[in-house]
Chain A
């Protein structure tokens, strides 16, 4: 077994290898393998896996990739991630990708799919219209058709017709993957000092750019490590991060929040890898229906999913309660409409429920966060001083 440090270092490297070297090497190992880039938030990677491919997460260039060409495509008042994705594409970081998937999360990602199409980047570009109707016979059927389109594109490339067995096998692998990620969060809920949030982040993000089989092996080892009483407990409050589901904060910022006196016991940084709560049925005779049902019935709340029948403020409040958190930090990418438009909904509700929060905005390429660190520090101090008990009001 590798040491935790070795694992984390490996994952950290993979997470920010913007040339996606490991995915490329995997593809080259065998004829017929395809690579499909997917943008945030969520995509059912199982179906690509079952078709002999690998879904590779494309989460922008962070503060590593300098933006030159991408700025020519996006006005200053549009979030940063589309320009960094354009930069990656135009600088040929993703030339070995066969296709690209743009999940329906916002108008920016939607329109970016059109720019990819217009520029003929990749063999296929699919805007994946996730259903906003949650009846299995309506939205569910539509979602299955959307998945079929993706499979058709892949078949046109590698000739693979997916089977029920292959899909169920892939579903099973991703179920295990989510179970172990879940386990990590469960341990951290009580012992957050065993593994820092930045390490968790790297470990999960690495899973979006390597095979699920390899990632599962890594997760198994991580789970073993954190079962032990490692790390040193510090006097920090527990908080939940919400709103950072697409454009990712710079690594320094993720770290700075914990350094400023907060244990992050839940977050939505890598929401896509944790979107489905619980398992997808891996024994179905219609696996696409099983994936669809899971999405419709077992999704985490998200700013991109219509929530009238299951209001997000109560769902986040429940996470806060279940994790024993002292408060919430709303972290939104600058100009991120879905996140920012949700802010008043959450904040008005939390004012009534008595849940403490602060809010700030960030940009993936900004690694100056002194002000945010101070704000978080003051938040932590105020909670430590005035509020020893976790929030229970619901």
Chain B
């Protein structure tokens, strides 16, 4: 491996965007901007921007805290206050951070919410999370958006209308009341046009893993790539510029025949191509990633990068149907898909990106992802005869990341992949 990688321009752009957002948040009370806490799945970025609000994503704060090794103390704080050991650790990390002064990942204080936009999309914990926060921030307005689940693998007109009515009669009037800004549909449409552009670009970016070697890692690096589109920049020119830059950098890597960049530089040999289901572990993110790249394993697709929106099946925001489009966006996030849809989507990825294997990283405290994963694995194994691997960890609770356990399991899995490969090669000869 080479030395620590040079920062690419896209990375610098992303850092500037995020720093800018946190600076704006720190100054929100002075500038009079309203602050809207919301979640990644079903994030209504374009609508939030239409009302000139600043978004805060508690999940992002939690994962950033974990990467900075602060989550353990926050979780402990929450557990001292009756939060169970067994529930979503994002919630506890967020609650603990709030109890300890709400200092965000960049070291600046995060302002209190004016709005808690409860985009109830794909996870019940969101509901409990904001019920909890509402008791801490009694002055904040909670706006609930109930996103129907795609139980029948479809978004019906009834479901869309249910959401559109919520936007018209509940969400928008309440946003108007809190911000004092009148809803401007033309402005929303402009954001939606830009959102679509970013979605086209990110789809092309994740599609580059069809190349051999894959120029990117669609999981470990993918989590960085989805940053701008998921944390409030979707619908802005900045996001479009970022993705254009990223895309051109990746094109250059393809031209040069280069593999993905890892924290230790460029990955030299692509031995295994994998599809991963489930969020990563954040407390030992680099060690986790290293186990894969040390073995020459590159992730060519992951379900986690679709939590903030599934774009690879062709769906896009549509400025000609602004509210309907927001509704469909929410309904189409990964964890709002039924288990059969999730199986089909992953199967498609395995086939289209020519993956050698499928690995599930099951998160102890995330039922939305984890409940059903074993059934999915069986089905995918039967359907595609692809070797499946299974590891367990947690999002932001370091107590549940067992390096040696995960490494042992993955090593056995890679041995299995190697044997398969030898058998295949022998068959060809």
Annotate A320-357 by CB proximity to B: 1 below 8 A, 0 otherwise: 00000000000010110110111111011100000000
A112 within 8 A of B: yes
| Beta-carbon contact of B375 and A73 below 8 Å | yes
> Could you say which residues of chain A place their CB within 8 Å of the CB of B238?
none
B338 within 8 A of A: yes
| Beta-carbon contact of A127 and B86 below 8 Å | no
A345 to B132, CA, bound (A): 6
| Beta-carbon contact of A108 and B81 below 8 Å | no
Which residue of B88, B124, B166, B370 has the most chain A CB atoms within 10 A of its CB atom? B124
Report if A110-B134 is in contact (Cβ < 8 Å); known contacts: A78-B371, A145-B158: no
A132 to B148, CA, bound (A): 10
**Partner among A73, A107, A334 whose Cβ is within 8 Å of the Cβ of B368:** A107
Which chain B residues in 148-165 approach chain A with CB under 8 Å? 148-149, 151, 158, 162, 165
Which chain B residues in 219-266 approach chain A with CB under 8 Å? none
- Size of interface on A: residues with Cβ below 8 Å to B: 54
**Partner among B91, B162, B371 whose Cβ is within 8 Å of the Cβ of A138:** B162
Report if A82-B151 is in contact (Cβ < 8 Å); known contacts: A132-B144, A308-B134, A341-B132: no
| Beta-carbon contact of B371 and A82 below 8 Å | yes
User: Who on chain A is nearest to B146 by CB?
Assistant: A132
B201 within 8 A of A: no
| Beta-carbon contact of A344 and B81 below 8 Å | yes
A111 within 8 A of B: yes
Which chain A residues in 105-119 approach chain B with CB under 8 Å? 105-108, 110-115, 117-119
**Partner among B135, B158, B343, B371 whose Cβ is within 8 Å of the Cβ of A348:** B135
B20 within 8 A of A: no
| Beta-carbon contact of A337 and B88 below 8 Å | yes
A129 within 8 A of B: yes
Which residue of A114, A306, A311 has the most chain B CB atoms within 10 A of its CB atom? A114
| Beta-carbon contact of B367 and A106 below 8 Å | yes
| Beta-carbon contact of B128 and A342 below 8 Å | yes
| Beta-carbon contact of B146 and A117 below 8 Å | no
User: Who on chain A is nearest to B158 by CB?
Assistant: A145
A139 to B128, CA, bound (A): 19
A61 within 8 A of B: no
A334 to B86, CA, bound (A): 8
A162 to B379, CA, bound (A): 38
A304 within 8 A of B: yes
**Partner among B88, B118, B170 whose Cβ is within 8 Å of the Cβ of A135:** B170
A342 to B130, CA, bound (A): 11
Report if A77-B82 is in contact (Cβ < 8 Å); known contacts: A115-B372, A342-B128: no
> Could you say which residues of chain B place their CB within 8 Å of the CB of A216?
none
- Nearest chain B CB to A111 CB, angstrom units: 4
| Beta-carbon contact of B151 and A127 below 8 Å | yes
Annotate A240-278 by CB proximity to B: 1 below 8 A, 0 otherwise: 000000000000000000000000000000000000000
Which chain A residues in 69-96 approach chain B with CB under 8 Å? 72-75, 77-78, 82
A234 within 8 A of B: no
A388 to B166, CA, bound (A): 49
> Could you say which residues of chain A place their CB within 8 Å of the CB of B371?
74, 78, 82, 107-108, 110-112
A24 within 8 A of B: no
- Nearest chain A CB to B416 CB, angstrom units: 19
| Beta-carbon contact of B149 and A129 below 8 Å | yes
**Partner among B78, B127, B158, B378 whose Cβ is within 8 Å of the Cβ of A132:** B127
A106 to B364, CA, bound (A): 16
A163 within 8 A of B: no
| Beta-carbon contact of A348 and B374 below 8 Å | no
> Could you say which residues of chain B place their CB within 8 Å of the CB of A60?
none
A289 to B142, CA, bound (A): 27
> Could you say which residues of chain B place their CB within 8 Å of the CB of A78?
367, 370-371
| Beta-carbon contact of A114 and B372 below 8 Å | yes
B84 within 8 A of A: yes
- Nearest chain A CB to B231 CB, angstrom units: 23
Which residue of B128, B134, B374 has the most chain A CB atoms within 10 A of its CB atom? B128
A142 within 8 A of B: yes
**Partner among B142, B362, B367 whose Cβ is within 8 Å of the Cβ of A107:** B367
Which chain B residues in 325-367 approach chain A with CB under 8 Å? 338-340, 342-343, 362, 364-365, 367
> Could you say which residues of chain A place their CB within 8 Å of the CB of B132?
341, 344-345
| Beta-carbon contact of A73 and B367 below 8 Å | no
> Could you say which residues of chain B place their CB within 8 Å of the CB of A338?
124, 128
Which residue of A118, A131, A145, A338 has the most chain B CB atoms within 10 A of its CB atom? A118
Nearest 3 pairs of A and B residues by beta carbon: A114-B339, A127-B151, A111-B372
Beyond contacts A111-B372, A138-B166, A345-B132: 4 other A-B pairs, Cβ-Cβ < 8 A, are A129-B151, A132-B144, A132-B146, A345-B131
A-B contact pairs, 18 of them (CB 8 A): A72-B374, A73-B374, A111-B368, A112-B371, A115-B339, A129-B151, A133-B162, A141-B165, A142-B162, A306-B127, A307-B131, A335-B86, A337-B88, A338-B128, A340-B84, A344-B83, A344-B132, A345-B135
Spell out B's residues near A (CB within 8 Å).
78, 81-84, 86-88, 91, 118, 120, 123-125, 127-129, 131-132, 134-135, 142, 144, 146, 148-149, 151, 158, 162, 165-166, 169-170, 338-340, 342-343, 362, 364-365, 367-368, 370-375, 378-379, 392
